[in-house]
Structures are given as structure tokens and as C-alpha cells.
Amino acid sequence: MTDIKKDKPLSEKIETNVAGPDVGRRRIIKGAGAVTAASALSVPMILVPPRANAATELNMIAWYGHGEPDMVEEFEAMHNVKIKAKYYAGGDNMLALISQSPPGTYDLVLSDGEFVKLLKEAGYIEPMDPNEYNMGDLFDEYSHFDAHWMGDTLYSVIVRFGYLGVSFNTDIISHEEASDYNILWDSKLKGKVGHFDWHLPNLGCLSLRDGNNKPSPFDINSSKWSQLQETTLSLKPQVGGYFDYGGTFASLKNGEVYAMCGIGDWITGVVRKDGSPVDSVIPTQGGIQWTESYSIGKGSKKQDLAKEFIRYITSPKGQVRSIQMAAYPGMSPYKSGWTAINEANPEEAKRQRMTFDGHNCIDDLREGRIHFRQTPVQQSLEDWNDFWSEYKNA
């Protein structure tokens, strides 16, 4: 005969044991222990927000400052997103960091205009649909910015720009004096001329001093290149040092350097806020332009959110933040950005010459005084870099 009791399923057996009257002391103690442990583990969980509310992470690679709270906190709150920024110093550094990371690491890539083509060629960025962004709001000069388009395809959306010329200590040099690159050779600046340690903006400005403005200070033949090298080497006795980002700030602030070429308001705007007597000017021979723009990283899994961020930062609200970015200021290429900053901070709008009445910063472009910073056209980047190393050693 079959013992019915023996054939009961296991669940039933357990149920019987737990509910039945023959519950042993050890079982009670064991059960109590389990309940205590479970309670202990679950109590802190009450304090942890449910997982559904955890912020999404959006990874950005950018110059310092673009991922700081003054730039992103509003967007983060609006979209329950956490922007995680990896900062670089210089386009070369950016390319290296991206090349060392697996595809899809960065959702947003902030780049200088001249590096967009290299990003595209290396396959690091996605094509973009211009209809998805505020392109119609751009000033004509930026509505089809060559550096961001490869044929008919857009690869980057401009956020801000600025000019590079001569930055100077206003206690030592007047505006008029600084409006000519030749001031750098003045005897009163012996040992007091500084360089931001990057060949491209420095050689670009000195090329303008040599009169190479057509078609571009970066598009020069071999004889003009030789002339530029001579000009640069003749400046050597005046040079007090070569500085990185922090060193440039410090040297202008503590009076160690009286003048620098190849930098602009992106540095002096911040130093001035600290009360130091410095300013920047575009000399009569012309100036260099930098631009910063956002692309979407190749293989990004959060492209919609990345697009949303680009729309935000190019919107009037985003542009007001960008213009006044704590790390370094920048001008807006968006008409609505100008309107917004004139309402939010008219003084800053005036300081950066983003006003609709009178001569403004876009007029400099229209007058042909400003040239886009680019990699050398007729020489290799290596030639320019080699010369810069020679110059530093001279």
C-alpha cells in the first residue's frame, strides 16, 4: 500500500509543518532570526529612492567648464539626467581620449570647429539632421558654417564662439597700442610677453601681423611660412614664458606678463572679473576666431537625450548660461541668444558686444577682420609644431 502522507508535495509538507501544532523551539528561533535579518536589510531600503527614479547618465567630452553646474544643472533637473563630463585640454587631447575609448562612450562631443572634420574622418561622430536644431535662429555667418558640414551633411551644431587677438595689462599698455601686433616688440615689454602654449593661435596671430590675411593666416606658401618663422623668432627676446590654461590666468593676474597674443576675452574676461587690469583687443591687422560646437558621439545609445541637450544649450536659456559660463565666457551665434542676454544681463551683452545697435562682434566678421582658426593648409601640422618646439628652445 502506498503511504499517502509520504506522497504529499513538498510545499504542502512545509505548509503543514509551519502551520501545524508541532512547531519546534529551534524552528521558532530560526524563523525569528530570518525575520530580524530581513527587517534589518529592508529598513535602509526605505531610505533609498526607488530605482525607477535614478537619473540617466549622459556622457560628455568637453573643454573644462561645459559640464559644470552653472551650465547643466537646469537641464539635469528638467530631464532627470546626470551629465558626466570628461574634460580635455586641446583638440589633439580630445581625439586621443576618444580613440582610447570604446564606441558609444561619449554621447556628446564638444569640439573646436577645426577638429570636426577630423572627428568625422575618424568615424567618431554621427551625422545630424539640421531640422532638429535651432539652425534658423543663427546669424547668417553661422547658418552654414563650413567646418561643420561635410558636403550636404551636418556633423556639429555651433554653441559659442570668440575672438583671439592681443590681451594686455591696461596699466602698462593702452588700447591704441594693443591694437597693433607690433606692440609685442616694444622695449617696455621685454621679458613680459607671454604665450599660451599652443602653436596654432599664436602663429595665426603673428601670421596676420605679417599681412597674411588672404585667404587665411593659416593658408600661406613656403616663402610666407619662412617669413612667419623669422617674425616669430625675432619675438623671442621679449618672451617671459609659455603657459598652460592655469598659468596664463596666473601670469596675467599677478603682472608677470603684460601682453599675450593668440588669446582673448575667454581668458581676460575671467581675469577681469577678479579685478585685474587686463583686456583684449582685435588688432587692426585682424584676429582669429574660435568656435565650439556639439556633435553626437558615434554609437551613442542616448542620442535623443543628447539632441535634447543640444537643443537646450542652443536655446535662449542655454545661451544665456553659455555666454556667462563661469570657466570662460563665449559669444552667442544665435539671434535669440543675443535678445535673451540683453534682457538677462545687459552689461555682459555690452561687454561682449552682442548688441543690436551700434558696432557689434558680428560686424567684425562682416568686415573680414576675423579669420577662422584652422590647421595649416600648405604645411603639415607637424611642421608648425616642430617650429614651435624650435622657437621655445631658441
Partner 1 sequence: MPIVIWQLIFFVFPLIFLVVLSFWLVKNYRMVPGFDTINWVKMFSKGYFWDAYWRTLGYAGVATIVTSILAFPCAFALAFKVSPKVRRWALFFLIVPFFTSYLVRTYSWQIFLNDNGIFNTLFALVGLGPFQLLNNFFGTLVGYLTLCLPLVVVLQLISLANVDRTLIEAAHNLGCGRLRTVFQVIVPLAKIGIILGAVFTFILTFGDFVSPYYLGGSKPPTLSILIIDTTKSGQQWPRAAVVAIVMIVTLLTIMFASVAAAYRKRS
In the bound state with partner 1, the residue whose beta carbon lies nearer, of 161 and 198, is 198
Spell out the residues 6+ positions from residue 205 whose beta carbon is closer than 8 angstroms to its own: 164, 165, 166, 181, 217, 261, 262, 287, 288
Number of residues that bind partner 1 (CB under 8 A): 36
Site string for partner 1, 199-218 (x = CB under 8 A): x-------------------
CA distance 336 to 344: 12
Residues of this chain, 118-177, that bind partner 1 according to CB under 8 A: 118, 121-122
CA dihedral 350, 135, 68, 96 (to 10 degrees): -120
Query: Using the rule CB under 8 A, is 198 a contact of partner 1?
Result: yes
Query: Using the rule CB under 8 A, is 390 a contact of partner 1?
Result: yes
Query: Using the rule CB under 8 A, is 381 a contact of partner 1?
Result: yes
Query: Using the rule CB under 8 A, is 392 a contact of partner 1?
Result: yes
In the bound state with partner 1, the residue whose beta carbon lies nearer, of 92 and 177, is 92
In the bound state with partner 1, the residue whose beta carbon lies nearer, of 159 and 193, is 193
Can you tell me which of 43, 53, 254, 358 binds partner 1, judged by CB under 8 A?
A: 254
The span of 208-216, 326-334, 351-359, 377-385 binding partner 1 (CB under 8 A) equals 377-385
| Residue 177 C-beta: closest distance to partner 1, Å | 20
Query: Using the rule CB under 8 A, is 277 a contact of partner 1?
Result: no
CA distance 200 to 387: 11
| Residue 128 C-beta: closest distance to partner 1, Å | 22
Can you tell me which of 155, 161, 243, 290 binds partner 1, judged by CB under 8 A?
A: 243
In the bound state with partner 1, the residue whose beta carbon lies nearer, of 274 and 367, is 274
Query: Using the rule CB under 8 A, is 64 a contact of partner 1?
Result: no
Query: Using the rule CB under 8 A, is 239 a contact of partner 1?
Result: yes
Can you tell me which of 64, 76, 95, 342 binds partner 1, judged by CB under 8 A?
A: 95
In the bound state with partner 1, the residue whose beta carbon lies nearer, of 115 and 328, is 115
Q: Which residues bind partner 1 (CB under 8 A)?
A: 90, 92-93, 95-96, 99, 118, 121-122, 191, 197-199, 239-244, 247, 250-251, 254-256, 381-382, 384-386, 388-390, 392-394
